[in-house]
């Protein structure tokens, strides 16, 4: 298959990756209603076509927290990306740098902060999951700060992990009996030889790089995951932002906001930005999609901080729709993860090219020549 759209990369990733890894990227929590809603609610929004508007010059450039972007798109934090392609986070970060957009590294990435910064030649944004060991969290923040990470993304919608039934069925998190799960995983790898050679054999070490020093006895993902899930801190409150501020003096963006009152609270505690997000439909099933939650949040706090959004973005047209509803930029997760799993850095670069081309077309046919001027007039209301 010659990929033309982001959906093509989903199919290519499905073919190349072992099922347990594809399902980890592709799946959501419980019945996956929110996962579907994220996409369907974008599809339900109609762009307003305008003609004869002089669209000979279209600008996609914007700025976030003093950082210039070639277009209002970021690569969202995605866990375990180094299991989709050899040292996958580095490959994705290199593609992002070449495209002029930020890459955000997950706390639970395979590659750590130092490897990504060195490999890409630029420090990534860093996404923080708060674990119980505050001493180690302070060390991790100090590393991010020392490397020059420009923005801290603090994920707040995971006090406890959502139940992801696909992962239980494949045995990724020990949901299957040990013997059965081991045999299934072995067969899954053997029947995907390209992945086996590239990642399983050539992409080691398979650890959560940013957490490796906290769990030195863990040797592989099977040993890391139980520790990680047990060490998420369910006692977090808004007051913990004060602790983070003592260790981080750069911009803080709170990820996982779906309610206007929580958005107002983010303003009150001094956040620089928020990401309207339901964790890609991977946490509480049945909640609003990001794009449905976006307008009332933009109305409530749009003048007070920077609003980003993620969840369900599958095209450049979706990005334009989100900008029209009040977002300053969109984070994309599954699109780049699928592309990475299918074709590595080249796939991620192509997905970013697709998004750019689709955005340019959508801007031209809605008569908008600058993404910073996008508003609700671009939509049929």
Closest CA to 80 of 22, 34, 128: 22
Rounded (5°) CA angle 158-162-163: 165
Measured CA to CA in angstroms, residue 84 lies from 92, 200, 347 at distances of 11, 9, 12
Q: Report d(CA 229, CA 6) in Å as an integer.
A: 31
Helices (H), the chain: 6-16, 19-26, 33-44, 88-99, 113-120, 134-147, 165-170, 178-190, 193-195, 221-231, 240-247, 260-268, 290-301, 316-324, 334-366
Q: Report d(CA 357, CA 364) in Å as an integer.
A: 11
Whether residue 279 lies in the annotated active site? yes
DSSP string, 91-137: HHHHHHHHHT--BEE-TT-SS-HHHHHHHHSSPPEEEE--BS-HHHH
Tell me if 242 sits within 8 A of 130, measured CB to CB: no
Q: Tokens 């729709």 appear where?
A: 321
Per annotation, catalytic residue among 192, 206, 247, 279: 279
Closest CA to 324 of 380, 275, 278: 380
First to last CA, the chain: 38
Q: Catalytic positions, please? A: 279
């Amino acid at each position: 298959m010659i990929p033309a759209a982001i959906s093509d990369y989903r199919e290519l990733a499905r073919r190349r990756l072992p099922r347990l890894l594809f399902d980890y990227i592709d799946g959501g929590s419980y019945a996956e209603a929110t996962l579907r809603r994220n996409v369907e609610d974008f599809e339900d929004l109609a762009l307003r076509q305008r003609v004869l508007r002089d669209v000979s010059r279209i600008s996609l450039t914007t700025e976030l927290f003093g950082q210039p972007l070639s277009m209002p798109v970021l690569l969202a934090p995605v866990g375990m990306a180094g299991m989709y392609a050899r040292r996958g986070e580095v490959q994705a970060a290199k593609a992002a740098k070449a495209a002029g957009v930020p890459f955000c590294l997950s706390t639970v990435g395979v590659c750590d902060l130092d490897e990504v910064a060195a490999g890409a030649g630029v420090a990534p944004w860093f996404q923080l999951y708060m674990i119980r060991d505050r001493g180690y969290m302070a060390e991790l923040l100090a590393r991010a700060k020392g490397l020059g990470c420009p923005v801290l993304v603090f994920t707040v919608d995971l006090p406890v992990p959502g139940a992801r039934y696909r992962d239980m069925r494949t045995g990724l998190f020990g949901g299957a009996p040990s013997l059965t799960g081991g045999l299934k995983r072995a067969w899954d790898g053997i029947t995907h030889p390209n992945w086996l050679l590239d990642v399983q054999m050539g992409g080691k070490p398979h650890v959560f790089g940013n957490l490796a020093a906290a769990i030195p006895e863990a040797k592989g993902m099977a040993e890391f995951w139980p520790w990680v899930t047990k060490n998420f801190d369910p006692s977090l409150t808004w007051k913990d932002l004060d602790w983070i501020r003592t260790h981080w003096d750069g911009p803080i963006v709170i990820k996982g906001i779906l309610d206007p009152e929580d958005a107002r609270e983010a303003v009150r505690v001094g956040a620089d930005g928020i990401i309207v997000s339901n964790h890609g439909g991977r946490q509480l099933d049945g909640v609003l999609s990001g794009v449905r939650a976006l307008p009332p949040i933009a109305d409530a706090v749009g003048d007070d901080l920077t609003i980003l959004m993620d969840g369900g973005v599958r095209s450049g047209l979706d990005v334009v729709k989100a900008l029209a509803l009040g977002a300053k930029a969109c984070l994309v997760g599954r699109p780049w993860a699928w592309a990475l799993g299918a074709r590595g850095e080249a796939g991620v670069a192509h997905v970013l090219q697709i998004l750019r081309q689709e955005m340019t077309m959508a801007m031209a046919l809605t008569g908008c020549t600058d993404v910073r001027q996008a508003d609700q007039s671009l939509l049929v209301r």
